[in-house]
Structure 1
Amino acid sequence: MTRQPGLDVPAPVRVLMVMEATIGGTKRHLLELATGLHKLGCEVSIACPRIRNESHGDTSFWDDASGAGIPVIELPMERGVWSPTNLVAVRHLAVLLRRHRYDVVHAHSSIGGAVTRIAAQIVPRSMRPKVVYTPHGFAFLAGSAVRRNMFRLIERLLGLVTDRMIAVSPTEADVAVEHGVVPRDRVVAIPNGIDPSVMPGPEHRDDVRAREGWGDAPVVMTVARMTPQKDPGTWLRVAARIAAACDDVRFVWVWGGDQQEMVKAEATRLGLGGRIDFLGYREDARELVSASTVFLLTSRFEGLPYVLVEALAMQVPVVATDVTGTRDVVRHGVTGLLAPVEDVEALAAHVLSILDDRERGVAIGLAGKQDVEDRFSIAQMVSHTLETYRDVLHSGSNGR
């Protein structure tokens, strides 16, 4: 980063953000971070696919980013690790980095992170930007032993050419260090932030319930992609246990994904067919969450889940698995309840305890709202990220 002649203030930081996963929480994070940095004077551009190759229903990222005044460069990428498309993306991205001479290239999620860090090594050292990487959840935390070991090795190798890692939660930063991805002095935790003022308030609850046909029934819901990371099988088994104990509860799943047909078939097998609504992608997901009784998330791992932060901001009690990222959001017994991964009995018992004691649910909801306002600010997320960029630009090369 150079200084403008005759001025005491540094020149604007020129940042290229790269991401393949243009949906869900990573989409939210990138849009809010890019627009926030832009408002602080950074010159921000985004390189990403026009549409992600997944059945999810959300194709709005490109238009949203462009509408916010952020230049968007089409860079086709795919989820498959060994996809030929990603190899082509490496070459195209290397050309972009040489041509535009960015100060920082900030990669998001595993595919964007791999493509970016390999591309940066192709660029001559004198033209190479500083490389910052945000995992948004490590893929090596779930799956078979072979899969975990492969992804851990990839992250360790790419960690050698990463100037700074920004973890979206303290526990994600701890995982990076414990698994040898990067040393402690090259990782910083900057939690995701939200704007509580845009969350739907309780005054909309009755209208939403009437519109959706829920009436006064207790509603247990989630907003999650139907992928192995979110463990929909456990979610459905928990729902079946709750349904057996509470005959008026309804279940709602917002979003789709790779396992959609399998999930629907399993719901039917478990006898949930008449009591669960699969709504697919919904623009009004926040309103639906605000009108629910309990928010249930059964992830195997997370970065820092926006859906939980938003549920807490809307005073909805949360029950979730005690995993990386989630335990940074939910304070067990205070702002929600946690249970081990795949522990159907414990998760169901937690949900039923809230359904049986509505006053406790209200108290948890109020505590959650206050906690979010205290700890998860967009302004802090953006300013701390800019501080990290400036620090890595002034500190020289750490990872190479």
Structure 2
Amino acid sequence: MPRRPIGCASWWSTSVGERPSRPTSILVVSNHGAIVGGGELSLLDLLRGLDRDRWAPVLVVPEDGEVGARARDLDLPVHVIPLPSLRRLGPGSFRSVKALTRLARATDAGAIHANGSRAMAYAGVAGRLAARPVLWHVRIADRDRLMDRALCAIATVVIATSRAVARRFAWAPAKIRLVPNGIDLAQFAPRPPSAAFRAKLGVPPSAPVAVSIGRHVPEKGYRHLIAAAALIERAKPGLHWVLVGNGELRSELEAQTRRLGLGSRVHFTGWRDDVADVLALADVFVLPSEREGFGRVLVEAMSMSRAVVATAVGGVPDIVLAGETGVLVAPADPAALAEAVHALLDDPARTALLGVAGRARAEATFSLGAHVDAVERVYDEMLGRVAPEARR
């Protein structure tokens, strides 16, 4: 049967429509060895969901950590190859490119999948040297103009997780494939809250609860959330806030809550693995981000039938339909955030309807199965097994 080149001139695929006789190896390169946010969780979900009859993923992490440990739990081969900072290129950088090139050949990788910009810089060069097509998976909407153009030039295709991320590459539409993240809808199925869990967190039995999940870093906007919490406390005392996450600003945020007299109302839990149980406690879910490429936690909350209040930034409007599945407000505006949360707490019927609509949207648009199918189609496209998607 005829064969044709895809991506790189010396790499050849099976014919379009032909199912491989054995799983095709995909070399997946992660930006991080630790789980620093939703990007790593989404990558692990993808690795778990890939059809093992068709794909044999091999994971590369820059250092051992939770990402590699969870991948090993999935019975995936994991290799540790350092990815030195692109600001400090040196002999170690060239050794890493050489190691990735050698691994791509040793695993007979059909393609390389880079999760993040630093991963793409190394994977892109290794892909050229090993003559393999390279997929750049982009989850952040913030532009890095010179780096974006350089990495996009050596990528065979770019996955953008939202329209906001895709706009980062407005000058290269032919390479962009819009593939939103997906979650395990069964894991985040609606459930009644646990009274014992509520007590464990220190939340009174009848108190209303707002939940937020995210890194405690400037762009996540938590200082505005705490300012909004103070406004709500003055207008309608008694709302408890459960904040799941951690980061460089945690001590500063804790000091802010004490300064505003909210020490007993705001509960900092750190990172937790039982996020679904936390979401089950929520009367409303709040995302106060100033920048957001996608917003995986929004999908998780909607899947749990929780009404959402979020800032209209980045990829958030791709997820939350204003007035239908949640409420969108301007970023860095504590008064608007407080007003939206207060309004939902005062209208349980509307809150319930938003939650039901959110679950329906999660099922229709953000399932893990749909996400995996879309990524697998991009793999097939790179390998010449299906025709390219229409440009979006």
Regarding TM over 0.5, the answer is yes
> Which residue in 2 is equivalent to 1:43?
56
1:1-400 counterparts in 2 under 5 A? 2-3=13-14, 8-11=18-21, 12-21=23-32, 22-23=34-35, 24-51=37-64, 60-77=66-83, 81-83=86-88, 87=93, 89-121=96-128, 123=129, 127-140=130-143, 151-173=144-166, 175-178=167-170, 180=171, 183-199=172-188, 201-214=190-203, 215-394=205-384
Deviation at 1:83, TM superposition (A): 4.9
How many pairs were matched up?
A: 369
Deviation at 1:68, TM superposition (A): 0.9
Deviation at 1:288, TM superposition (A): 0.6
C-alpha distance in 2, partners of 1:378/1:108? 17
Contact 1:17 1:45 (8 Å CA) reproduced: yes
Deviation at 1:304, TM superposition (A): 2.1
What secondary structure is seen at the aligned counterpart in 2 of 1:196? Answer: coil
C-alpha distance in 2, partners of 1:211/1:116? 45
What secondary structure is seen at the aligned counterpart in 1 of 2:50? Answer: helix
Normalized per residue, which structure has more helix? 1
Partner AA of 2:56 in structure 1: E
TM-score calculated relative to the size of structure 1: 0.85
What secondary structure is seen at the aligned counterpart in 1 of 2:154? Answer: coil
Deviation at 1:365, TM superposition (A): 0.7
Contact 1:205 1:291 (8 Å CA) reproduced: yes
C-alpha distance in 2, partners of 1:250/1:201? 21
**CA distances 1:115-147 after superposition (whole Å, capped 9, x unpaired):** 3224434x1xxx32111011111333xxxxxxx
C-alpha distance in 1, partners of 2:247/2:295? 17
Deviation at 1:40, TM superposition (A): 4.4
**CA distances 1:40-90 after superposition (whole Å, capped 9, x unpaired):** 420111101344xxxxxxx53222211112111112347x55256983544
**CA distances 1:175-231 after superposition (whole Å, capped 9, x unpaired):** 1333x3xx1111011111122222253334434323323211111121101122312
Contact 2:240 2:266 (8 Å CA) reproduced: yes
Contact 2:189 2:303 (8 Å CA) reproduced: no
RMSD: 2.5
> What are the ranges of 5 or more consecutive residues in structure 2 without an aligned counterpart?
1-11, 388-392
Deviation at 1:27, TM superposition (A): 2.0
C-alpha distance in 2, partners of 1:232/1:114? 32
Deviation at 1:95, TM superposition (A): 3.3
Contact 1:110 1:139 (8 Å CA) reproduced: no
* Shift >4 Å, 4+ stretches: 83-86
Contact 2:164 2:314 (8 Å CA) reproduced: yes
Partner AA of 1:48 in structure 2: V
> What are the ranges of 5 or more consecutive residues in structure 1 without an aligned counterpart?
52-58, 141-150
**CA distances 1:288-319 after superposition (whole Å, capped 9, x unpaired):** 11111111111222232221101001111111
Contact 1:113 1:135 (8 Å CA) reproduced: no
Partner AA of 1:136 in structure 2: R
> How much identity, in percent, do the aligned residues show?
30
